[in-house]
Structure 1
Amino acid sequence: MADHIFIGGGAQDYGVAQTMLLDKANRHGLIAGATGTGKTVTLQIMAEEFSAAGVPVFLSDVKGDLSGLAAAGSADFKLHEAFTKRAKTIGLDLQYDSFPVTFWDLFGEKGHPIRATVAEMGPLLLARLMGLTDVQEGVLNVAFRVADEEGLPLLDLKDLQAMLVWVGQNAKELSLRYGNVASSSVGAIQRELLVLENQGGSALFGEPALDLSDMMGIRGGRGEINILAADQLMGSPRLYATFLLWLLSELFEELPEVGNPDKPKLVFFFDEAHLLFDDAPKVLVDKVEQVARLIRSKGVGVYFVTQNPGDIPDDVLGQLGNRVQHALRAFTAKDRKELKTAAETYRDNPAFDTAEAIQEVGTGEAVTSFLDRKGIPQVVERTLIRPPSSQLGPIDYAARKAVMNASAMAGKYDTPLDRESAHEMLAKKAEAAAKEAKAAEAEADEKEREFRNARRYDGGLNQSRSRSTSRKSSGGGFGGALASVVAKELKGTTGRRIVRGILGSLFKAR
């Protein structure tokens, strides 16, 4: 079995094979270039090559073009002659073929539904998703902390909304324990949750939550290619970036250490990667850098796809050992500076000027550099990217549906579950507390009637009336009733400890 994947032909006359070693593929990578220079096709052929080598792949289909991986290319295709000529130039025996594909969609329309629980997402990523301030993020952390300690599962948005209601109604008591909890901050978070819900975010949260093993299948010796339909999702870019970052953090938390495997356990393509870092707080960028550095020991290779290498922070960019750089255009002084910076990240080739080559390469061409057997970047080469074996462009709706119906995931995630969680549990506590208060009030009224009728003297009347008055003064309805019950429970623990990972997702220790 080959120990590498074939990317294209380089050097003089494009006759020297440019390959990526499979045992270095978990050292991460970069696919960069201006719009229309061939990044999507490069992503497609790399997904094909990894799948053929038995490596599962996850990628997002931002433009709707990558569904063609599920269908074989054809000699009837208008570019067949050009593809055949290119294949001959680079020494490739082009065979058209399809690949095992599973379609996913947060909205459940163009793929199987994919969900996470609110608890798995964690406060850090949710704060990023909603654009919260530091103070508001602190209040969100309090809500998560209390939910963890009291065994109140946060599964969907209504659970988090109910938890925030309780936090707001008990802000005074919580402030003594966790620091200032302002009602205005709770209100601001609730408003952002409403915005998130209106953007379709409620479809992301709930159960059944995604089982990561369902993305790591092998069919007929080929790795499963998981395609996330992202054309609609891109309408909410922050939701898109946060979801992919959550998925990456879940892989980091759940997968075991494997050291340096012969080939990756999974390759993860992060398209439109600039969205991850745009306006991101430093703490989040630091977490991404930490995950990127550590996740390779879990056998996961992460490949960022973006227009310009400058979109990626230096600490992250420095970890991307395998690179495919399509053309960059230098129209402004800033463009020229970024072009020069991009060229300086490569190991020079005396045969050409790297900066000039990056400007000159045509569509389907790139300058490439991959790690050698010692993990050292090879000299940069001008490379003609190999043509894809699968269909270039999308498949139609009927073909997509056929793939979905034949998938092992058909039916597994289609029906959402709504088991008892924080929303229902808090409602029950409120109902029980209200009944208790009503019974106590009725008892006090009965004693007062007995006293007036002089049937008997009750020395505990004043105490009962005082107790009833105290309950009324603490606030009626949901807040007052619930506070009297749950405040007692805050003194105890649930008998389990919940630990949050690097990006806020959970794993449980008993």
Structure 2
Amino acid sequence: MDRKEAFFNHIIEGYQTKGDSLVLGSAMLDGKTIKDAFVKIPLKTLNRHGLIAGATGTGKTKSLQVMAENLSEKGIPVLLMDIKGDLSGLAQASEGHQKIDERHAAIGLPFEAKKFPLEILSISEQNGVRLRATISEFGPVLLSRILDLSETQSGIVSIIFKYCDDHKLPLLDLKDFKKVLQFATEEGKDEIQTEYGRISSASTGAILRKIVEIDQQGGDLFFGERSFEVKDLVRKDENGNGIISVLRLTDIQDKPKLFSTFMLQLLAEVYATFPEQGDSDKPELVIFIDEAHLIFKEASKALLSQIESIVKLIRSKGIGLFFVTQNPKDVPEDVLAQLGLKIQHALRAFTAKDRKAIKLAAENYPDSEYYDVDETLTQLGIGEAFVSVLNEKGRPTPLAATLMRAPMSRMDVLTKSELKQLIDNSRLYYKYNDVIDRDSAYEILNEKIEKINEQEEVEERKKEASRTKNTASRRSTRMNPVIKVVTSATFIRGVLGILKRVL
């Protein structure tokens, strides 16, 4: 048996599956594609999470697109974080190309152009189905971690939530929370101190500054009603294809705090809402987070700890998470250790630092008698990647340099008219894009403050009237000699009477 045949058998045996799977492409040896040596991902291991990494222009986004298409075909809904704005083309079929035909001929797969059911979502001013959440849904613990508050400040946030719960004050948006903070240190200071203890104005000021930071990054658009229901992420179309939800985030790259806030809330909501699934034949939902370094950028230790916990726990809910980034080092080690599937596109070695990063990346993959991993990582072409997944028994598959299949949908964005038509035809758009601003803590406390102010004005008027009366009485005594004499006499009699009794 020659080396090529041994390698073919090595791949076929290593990627053999009994259940359903996704075909990513075909394995390569010595820079040449081995036809029909299919590299596959078992559907049942997709909830073990994964990483898609590689330098700019090496094909990460197309690999993401291929996986989303194949998952949709298998009836699995997908959520994509579209940072660069180049995933809307999933809604239209590929125009095809000679190079695509040549690629698929080398792989051993027929190419079929298809379009897929798409939903456009937004958390910013971009057009799409609006995703919102209320402050109350975050809760004090999550909100404190997002704001990176101290232990004392977190305690104050818990008191604020407790006060609002006890007094039926809905915390819906940022202006509600800011109003309660103001009330706690001004008009309602005595009331809250009596019931819950003293609140430092210095601490509330620090919390308010953190809230303003979120507000300036667009939090006023994200916090509020109507809250997005995560069950709307797990829908299928009339043909049984999983709907691909694309969250447009092209204007969010300079707002890492808002992006981290959204992602953590979404994952927490999914974890809290979805039922326990355990090991099943396929995942309930797969989430791809493009430019994943934005989640971890400027994130506090507490926030990173929360993300790590959710990554560990959410697997049992049947949710798969895939982080897409340029270099594996962009993902914290504790999170990276939880990722069972890795698709590593080429890395470029322009500097000593780059070469060191390549060596570290190579250590994430199992040893292989067929590849010099360090060297091959720099030689992979566009649309080629090292792949390592978990088989159905949870064991790592053989490392395979893989010629990835091409997307079946358009490898370009929708036109403005196509995008508008897609959004106009969305039933979720009309469900979530009407702004609701019902009476909440802001309005209720404003009314309460107004009543307090009115009561204080009434009391002040009474005091003023009393002071005026007393002043008028003193003035009239000075002006009337008769009254003055009588008053003085009374005063003297009083004194003399005491003295007389004493005498």
TM-score (norm: length of structure 1): 0.82
Greater shift in the superposed pair: 138-147 or 302-311:
138-147
Distance 1:139 1:272 in 2: 34
2:226 paired with 1:208: yes
Do the aligned residues in 1 keep the contact of 2:48 with 2:339 (CA within 8 Å)? yes
- Code of the residue aligned with 2:167 in structure 1: it is E
Q: Secondary structure at the match of 1:302?
A: strand
Q: Is the 8 A contact 1:171 1:183 kept in 2?
A: no
**Aligned amino acid, residue 124 of structure 2:** F
Q: Does 1:393 align with 2:412?
A: yes
2:78 corresponds, among 57, 63, 78, to 57
Structure 2 vs 1, CA of residues 128 and 232 (structure 1 numbering), >3 Å: closer, same or farther? Answer: farther
- Preserved CA contact (<8 Å) 1:244 1:270: no
Structure 1 counterpart of 2:48: 27
Cα pair distance change 1:270/1:363, threshold 3 Å: same
* In structure 2, distance between residues paired with 1:428 and 1:123: 25
Greater Cα offset, 127-136 or 18-27:
127-136
1:17 alignment partner AA? F
Give the whole-Å Cα distance in 2 for the aligned partners of 1:356 and 1:367.
12
Does residue 1:14 correspond to 2:34, yes or no? yes
Question: Aligned letter for 1:36?
Answer: G
User: Which sits farther off after the overlay, 278-287 or 391-400?
Assistant: 278-287
Q: 2 CA distance for matches of 1:352 and 1:154?
A: 57
Counterpart of 1:471?
A: none
Contact kept in structure 1, 2:383 and 2:404, CA below 8 Å: yes
Which residues in structure 2 correspond to 1:468-483 (within 5 Å)?
Answer: none
Q: What residue is the counterpart of 1:148 in the other structure?
A: 165
Report the more deviating stretch, 217-226 or 279-288. 279-288
Query: What amino acid maps onto 1:22 in structure 2?
Result: L
Query: 158, 177, 181: which one pairs with 1:164?
Result: 181
User: How far does residue 426 in structure 1 lie from its aligned partner after superposition?
Assistant: 0.9
**Pairing 1:344–2:377 present:** no
State the shift of 1:66 in Å: 0.2
CA distance in structure 1 between the partners assigned to 2:461 and 2:190 by the alignment:
29
Aligned position for 1:183: 201
Query: What amino acid does structure 2 have at the position aligned with 1:392?
Result: M
| Runs of 5+ consecutive residues of structure 1 not aligned to the other structure | 455-510
2:118 — aligned with what? 101
* Structure 1 counterpart of 2:41, one-letter code: M
Corresponding residue number in structure 2 for 1:461? none
- In structure 2, the residue matched to 1:487 is none
Moved more, 425-434 or 413-422: 425-434
* Alpha-carbon distance, 1:137 to partner: 4.6
Counterpart in the other structure of 1:237: 256
Segment drifting more, 116-125 vs 47-56:
116-125
How many residues are paired up? Answer: 450
8 Å Cα contact 2:24-2:41 kept in structure 1: yes
Q: Deviations over 1:401-456 (max 9, x none)?
A: 111111221311111101111111111222233344444555667788999999xx
Amino acid at match of 2:416: Y
In structure 2, C-alpha distance between the alignment counterparts of 1:249 and 1:259, rounded to whole Å = 18
Residue deviations 1:145-200 (CA, integer Å, cap 9, x gap): 43233332110111011011012225677678877743233234334433433332
Distance 2:298 2:466 in 1: 64
C-alpha distance in 1, partners of 2:453/2:300?
A: 43
1:193 corresponding residue in structure 2: 211
SS at 2:179 equivalent: helix
Could you give the per-residue CA deviations for residues 442-495 of structure 1, whole angstroms, max 9, x where no partner exists?
5667788999999xxxxxxxxxxxxxxxxxxxxxxxxxxxxxxxxxxxxxxxxx
The question of whether the paired residues in 1 share the 8 Å contact of 2:120 and 2:423 is answered with: yes
Distance 1:300 1:87, change over 3 A: same
Counterparts of 2:472 and 2:350 in 1: how far apart (Å)?
96
- Structure 1: how far apart are the matches of 2:289 and 2:196? 37
The equivalent residue for 1:484 is none
In structure 2, distance between residues paired with 1:254 and 1:242: 18
Spell out, residue by residue over 1:370-404, the C-alpha distance to the aligned partner (whole angstroms, 9 max, x if none): 11111011121100110000000101111011111
Equivalent in 307, 319, 334 of residue 288 of structure 1: 307
**2:386 counterpart residue number:** 367
Residues of 2 paired with 1:208 and 1:350: CA distance? 56
Report Cα offsets for 1:306-325 as digits up to 9, x if no partner.
Answer: 11111212221111001100
**Residues 1:378 and 1:176: Cα distance change in structure 2 (over 3 Å):** farther
In the TM superposition, what are the counterparts of 1:210-359 in structure 2 within 5 Å?
210-219=228-237, 220-359=239-378
SS at match of 1:161: helix
Distance 1:35 1:149 in 2: 52
Q: Distance in 2 between matches of 1:177 and 1:355?
A: 64
Structure 1: how far apart are the matches of 2:472 and 2:60? Answer: 89
State the one-letter code of the partner of 1:121.
F
Matching residue of 1:502: none
Alignment-derived partner of residue 402 in structure 1: 421
Shift of 1:133: 5.6
- Measured in 2, the distance between the counterparts of 1:375 and 1:175 equals 55
* Higher mean C-alpha deviation, range 35-44 or range 191-200: 191-200
CA RMSD of aligned residues (A): 2.6
Within a 5 Å distance, the mapping from 1:42-53 to structure 2 comes to 42-53=63-74
Q: What is the Cα deviation at residue 284 of structure 1? A: 1.9
Q: In the TM superposition, what is the alpha-carbon distance from 1:355 to its structure 2 partner? A: 1.6
- Report the secondary structure of 1:412's partner residue: helix
Question: TM-score, normalization: structure 2?
Answer: 0.83
For 1:385 and 1:172, locate their aligned partners in 2 and report how far apart those are by CA, in whole Å.
66
Note if contact 2:148-2:300 (Cα within 8 Å) is conserved in structure 1.
Answer: no
Which stretch of structure 1 is more off in the superposition, 333-342 or 13-22?
333-342
Distance 1:380 1:199 in 2: 42
Opposite residue 55 of structure 1, the aligned amino acid is I
Post-superposition offset of 1:339 = 1.6
